Amino acid sequence: MIGNRYAKKTRSKDEGEKPFWISFADLMTALMTLFLVVMAVSLMVVTKKINEATQAEKERSSEILDICTGIKDDPTLKNQLITVDCKENRINFGEAGRFGHNDYRLNAEGIKALSALVPVVLEAANSENGKKWFKQIVIEGFTDTDGSYLYNLNLSLRRSEWVMCSLLDPTFNQELTLTDAQKNQIKQLFLAGGVSFNSAKDSKEASRRVELRMQFYGLKEKDSAEAQPIFVSAPIETCQLAR
C-alpha cells in the first residue's frame, strides 16, 4: 500500500511538471526561429545595400571615364602637344607646358595648347555626366630642385597663377575668346595651386612644368554638394602678375 501511494505521488509530480518543460522548450525553439529569421532578413538588407553601392560606384567610374575619354579623343586636341591620362585624371602639356629657369610665364606653345583645351574641358563639364561628377580642375605648377623649398613653392604657385590669368585676362592670352558665363564657370571650376619640386621628372627642364588635375565628386560627396548654394562669381578682375 505504501509503495503504491509513493508510486502514485511520483507519477502525479512527473505528470505535473511535464507540461511546464514542454512549454519552455517550445518557447526557446520559437525564440531561436525568430532570431534566425531576423538575422536572415538583416543579412539580406545589408547584402542588398552593398550590391547597390558597388553598382553605383561602377556606374560612377564608368561615367567619369567617359568624361575623360571625351576630352582625350576630342579632334580639336589632335594636333596639340597635350596628353590626357584617364587613369590618373591628369592633363599634361608636354613640351608646350614647360617653363624657363626661374620663369613663371607660359610660352607661346603653351598658350596655344591651353586655348585649345579650355573650351573642350568646359564642354565636358557641361555634359550630362560632367554636371553629375565634375568637381574642379587644379592647376598645378612644378619646379626643378634648384633653390630653396619656399622659393620654389612661390615660383610654382606663380606658374599656376599665370595659367589662371591666361584663362581670365585677355591681355595675357588674346587667342582665347570666352564669354562672361564661361569665365565665371572657369572661376568656379579651376583652382590654382603650387606644389614646389614635388614629383620631379628625370630632367630639370621636364620638371619645370604645369599640369591640370581633374577632380570628381564621390557618391556621398555629390549628395552633400548638391545641397549647397551656387554662388555667381564677381566680374573678371585684371591679373596683377607682370606680363
Phi–psi pair at 65, nearest 5 degrees: -65, -35
Asked if residues 80 and 119 have their Cβ atoms less than 8 Å apart, the reply is no
What does the alpha-carbon distance between residue 114 and residue 132 come to, in Å, rounded to a whole number? 24
The predicted structure's pLDDT at residue 213: 93
Q: What is the pLDDT of residues 177-223, one digit of tens each?
A: 888 899 999 999 999 887 766 666 777 888 888 899 999 999 887 65
* Residue 186 Cα to chain centre, angstroms: 18
Q: What would the pLDDT profile of 10-30 be if each residue is shown by its tens digit?
A: 555 555 555 555 576 777 777
- Which neighbouring-strand residues pair with 137? 190, 214
Helical segments of the chain, H only: 2-72, 108-125, 128-133, 149-168, 180-189, 204-207, 219-226
Torsion sign across C-alpha atoms 200, 205, 154, 114: negative
Return the CATH class of domain 62-226: alpha beta
> What are the sequence ranges of the domains in the chain?
62-226
pLDDT at 19: 54
pLDDT at 35: 79
Closest Cα partner for 70 from 120, 24, 10?
Answer: 120
**pLDDT digit string (tens) for the chain, length 243 residues:** 545 554 455 555 555 555 555 576 777 777 788 878 888 888 787 777 777 678 888 999 999 999 999 999 999 888 778 899 999 999 998 888 888 888 899 888 889 999 999 999 999 999 999 999 999 999 998 888 888 888 888 998 999 999 999 998 888 888 888 888 999 999 999 998 877 666 667 778 888 888 999 999 998 876 555 544 443 333 445 676 656
Grid cell for residue 176: 582665347
